[in-house]
Amino acid sequence: MRQSFVMIAALALAAAGSTSPAAAKFTLASKDVHAGAKIADKHVFDAFGCTGANVSPDLEWSGAPAGAKSFVVTVYDPDAPTGSGWWHWVVANIPASTNGLAEGAGGKDGSLPAGAIQTRTDFGAPGYGGPCPPPGKAHRYVFTVHALKTDKIDVTADSSAALVGFMTHFAEIGRASFTALYGRAK
C-alpha cells in the first residue's frame, strides 16, 4: 500500500513538472515599460498638466494559446477617479501571426499590423493616450494582450473600450498582462 502511494505521488510530481508546447505560458513584456516599475515620461500623456511625449511603448507576447486567431491589446488604469477606471489604449483585430506592437504604434503615424484597428479610448479618440493621473498617489496601468478564438471582432475606430471589452470577453481563450505605475507629485 505504501509503495503504491509513493509511486502515485512520484508520478504526480513528474507530471506536474513536465512541460509541453501546449502548456507554454502566455506572457506579455516590454523593453520600454516594466512590471512594477515607474513608466518613463516618454510614454506619459502630453496634456491635463502632464508633459510627456505620449509615445506608446513596445509590447511583445509569446506562448499564445493554441487556437488563437487574433489578439486585442488594452492599457487600463483601474485607479482613475471615475468609478469605472480609464482606458488608455485599445487595439483590436491584431492578426494571430503578430507577436507584438512596435514602440510608437499607437500614434497617428504609428504602424499597426494589417487589419488591426485602434478604437476610442477614454480620451475620446482612437490611439494611445499615456498615463496622466491627478497629482498624488501613483496609479496602476494594466497592459494586457487578449488571445481570441475569432479572426476579428466587429468594431470600428469609434467603438468604445466597453464595447471592445464586451466582445473580447466572449471570444477570449487566454490573456497575459503586467502592471506598471505612474504618479505625479502634489
Please write the tens of the pLDDT for every residue from 148-170. 999 999 999 999 999 999 999 99
Tell me the average pLDDT of the chain. 89
Predicted pLDDT of residue 13: 33
Q: Is residue 142 packed enough to be buried (19+ CB in 10 Å), middle (13-18) or exposed (0-12)?
A: middle
Please write the tens of the pLDDT for every residue from 103-118. 999 998 889 999 999 9
Distance of CA 86 to the CA centre of its chain: 14
Cell of 50: 502632464
Judge whether residue 184 has pLDDT over 80. Answer: yes
The count of other CB atoms within 10 Å of the CB of residue 28 is 19
Q: Which domains does the chain have, with CATH numbers?
A: 20-182 (3.90.280.10)
Cα separation of 51 and 54, whole Å?
Answer: 9
Alpha carbon separation from 81 to 38, 61, 84, 117, 137 (Å, rounded): 20, 30, 8, 27, 11
String of DSSP letters for the chain: -HHHHHHHHHHHHHHHH---GGGPPPEEE-SSS-TTSBPPGGGS-SSTT-----PPPPEEEE-PPTT--EEEEEEEETTSTTTT-EEEEEEEEEETT--EE-TTTTSTT--PPTT-EE-B-TTSSBS-----PPSSSPEEEEEEEEEESSS-----TT--HHHHHHHHHHHEEEEEEEEEEE----
| pTM higher than the cut 0.85 | yes
Instruction: Give the torsion sign (CA, 35, 38, 43, 49).
Output: positive
**Top-confidence residue, 31 or 4:** 31
Cα separation of 161 and 123, whole Å?
Answer: 11
Please write the tens of the pLDDT for every residue from 123-148. 999 999 999 999 999 999 999 999 99
Band of residue 185 on the pLDDT scale cut at 50, 70, 90: confident
Band of residue 53 on the pLDDT scale cut at 50, 70, 90: very high
Instruction: Give the torsion sign (CA, 12, 14, 17, 21).
Output: negative
